[in-house]
Chains A and B, each alone.
Chain A
Amino acid sequence: MAESSILDIYKLLDDDNIILSYKGAINADVIMSLISILENKINTFDIRTDLKRRVMRVLIECFQNLHHHLDAAALDAEQTSESNALIIVQQIGDQFIIKTGNVINESDLVQLQRRIAMVNELNSDELRDLYRKKLENESFSKKVTAGLGFIDIARKSKQKLSFEVMEMASRKCFFCLNVTVG
């Protein structure tokens, strides 16, 4: 890579106030390292304690949710559970934007969109009721955890979930969940 393009990437990250960017394999250890790096960084910021707490909780859930999705996808494809993903955390004043992206099968997109739309339709009381219902009635499994994940992220971020989808070759697409806390 030419020196100028590295500088371009650096400038882009710097100009956009990216406090963390990661592209690569995801596993439980990587997730914990990223959480720890971000926690140390956010602790130095001059922001309200309750915001710090909320950002950390949403970060943890977003990262682990991403990992569960990658794990489930790898199991379906009988591949290794370590897959490539993209994580970007941006700080704009008192707002934190958490982006987690990964490649998914086009065939899984509709279901994913439906689950996000279902969560986005609910107000905070309805989200709370759904969370309680799922927590109480469904047995523990990775799938249920992922199901609770979106609800929990929406509850704690207090914002609607948004996402971007980019088409790729071979009936795949890049799916990116964008969560704002602030």
Chain B
Amino acid sequence: MEKLELRGSPKTPDIMLDADLGQMKIAGRSIPENPIEFFSPIYNWIDNYSASPCSETILDVRLEYFNTSSSKCLLDIFKKFEKINGKSSHVRVNWYFERDDDDMAEAGEDYEAIVDLPFSMIEVEQI
């Protein structure tokens, strides 16, 4: 399965999806007003990956900002991985946030409360 790599822009994040490594990385900022267009190829990739995933899947989320429109899209991504977790793959989410960034830490906790996936909250000096 082909990797999906998207370079970030002032309103969209860097994306790296690697089926061989079972890794998904999302980093930067996600503030498009209509994010569905941006996230659609990512949803498709995850659907294809879910057909035969790695035994372990790691999602690295290192976001600086995301708007409320993107928050729903992020949830949809987690929901897709929730479906395969504990069945065809063991999925883990690494949620990064900058020291002092309580809002981003809380956002991670919000997702952790909503989706049935193990989250590691990782504090870093700089995102």
A contacts, CB < 8 Å to B: 28, 31-32, 35-36, 49-50, 53-54, 56-57, 60-61, 64, 67-68, 128, 131-132, 135-136, 140, 144-145, 148-149, 152, 155-156
Contact = CB atoms under 8 A, between A and B. Distances in A.
Q: Is the contact region of chain A dominated by helix, strand, or loop, or is it mixed? A: helix
Contacts of A57: 65, 103
Given A132-B110, A135-B114, A156-B103, A140 B72 contact: yes
Given A135-B72, A135-B75, A28 B33 contact: yes
A35 B100 CA distance: 23
In this complex, the member of A60, A128, A144, A155 whose beta carbon has the largest number of chain B beta carbons within 10 angstroms is A60
B94 interface: no
Contacts, number: 59
A64 B67 contact: yes
A56 B65 contact: yes
Q: Is the contact region of chain B dominated by helix, strand, or loop, or is it mixed? A: helix
Given A28-B33, A57-B103, 6 more contacts: A32-B10, A53-B101, A53-B103, A135-B72, A140-B76, A148-B71
Interface of B: 10-11, 31, 33-34, 36, 65, 67-69, 71-73, 75-76, 100-103, 106, 110, 113-114
B75 A145 contact: no
Top 4 closest pairs, chain A to chain B, by CB: A148-B68, A140-B72, A50-B100, A136-B114
Nearest to B103: A156
Contacts of B65: 53, 56-57, 60
A152 B68 contact: yes
A50 B110 CA distance: 20
A128 B106 contact: yes
Contacts of A60: 31, 65, 67
Contacts of A128: 106, 110
Nearest to A152: B68
